[in-house]
Amino acid sequence: MGSASRGALAVARASLGERPAASVGGELLDASARIAAAPALLSALADGSADLAAKTQLIGRLFAGASVETRAVLTAAAEQTWSSPDELVAGVEELGLRAQAAAHADLADELLAAASVIDSNHELELGLGSKLGDPAAKVALVEKLFTGKISSSALAVVAHLVADPRGRRISAALRQSARIAADQGGSELATVTVASALTPEQQTRLAGLLEQSAGRPVRVTTVVEPGLIGGVRIQIGDDVIDGSVRSRLEDLRLQLAG
| Domain boundary, last residue among 78, 103, 128 | 103
Listed range (164-168, 193-197, 253-257) with the worst mean pLDDT: 253-257
Over residues 168-209, the pLDDT tens digits come to 889 889 989 999 999 998 888 888 888 888 888 888 888 888
Contact of 9 with 92, CB cutoff 8 Å = no
d(CA 162, CA 40): 23
Please count the structural domains in the chain: 3
Stated length of the chain: 258
Residue 90 confidence (pLDDT): 96
Q: Which domain holds residue 122?
A: 107-183
Domain shared by 14 and 93, yes or no:
yes
Most confident range (mean pLDDT) of 119-123, 171-175, 197-201, 244-248 is 171-175
Contact 70, 22 (CB under 8 A): no
Q: Where are the alpha helices (DSSP H) in 38-151?
A: 39-46, 52-62, 68-78, 85-103, 107-119, 122-129, 135-146
Q: Same structural domain for residues 139 and 208?
A: no
What DSSP line would sit under 128-145, residue for residue?
A: HH-TTS-HHHHHHHHHHH
- The reply to whether 34 and 97 lie within a common domain is yes
- 72 in the same domain as 8: yes
- Over residues 131-161, the pLDDT tens digits come to 888 999 999 999 999 999 999 999 999 999 9
pLDDT 10s digits, 66-104: 999 999 999 999 999 999 999 999 999 999 999 999 999
Angle between helices 107-119 and 152-163 (to 10 degrees): 50
Query: Are 154 and 174 within one domain?
Result: yes
- Looking at the structure, tell me whether residues 115 and 29 fall in a common domain: no
44 with 63, same domain: the answer is yes
- Cα distance between residue 104 and residue 119, in whole Å: 24
Nearby residues of 99 by Cβ (< 8 Å), 6 or more positions away:
16, 20, 24, 25, 28, 73
Question: Do both 91 and 123 map to the same domain?
Answer: no
| Chain mean pLDDT for the chain | 89
Last residue of a domain, one of 183, 215, 247: 183
pLDDT for 31 beyond 90: yes
Q: Which amino acid is at 191?
A: T
pLDDT, average across residues 116-126: 87
CA 228 to chain centre: 26
Tell me the whole-structure pTM to 2 decimals: 0.82
Average pLDDT over residues 216-235: 81
Out of 71, 103, 135, a domain closes at: 103
What is the arithmetic mean of pLDDT over 117-121? 87
171 and 244, same domain (yes or no): no
pLDDT at 246 over 70: no
Are residues 120 and 174 both part of a single domain? yes
**Could you give the percent of the chain with pLDDT greater than 90?**
53
pLDDT at 95: 97
What pLDDT was estimated at residue 258? 56
Q: pLDDT band at 255, cuts 50/70/90? A: low
Q: Is residue 134 located within the same domain as residue 75?
A: no
- Same structural domain for residues 99 and 7? yes
CA distance 129 to 36: 18
- Establish how many alpha carbons lie within 13 A of residue 90's alpha carbon, considering only the half-sphere containing its beta carbon: 18
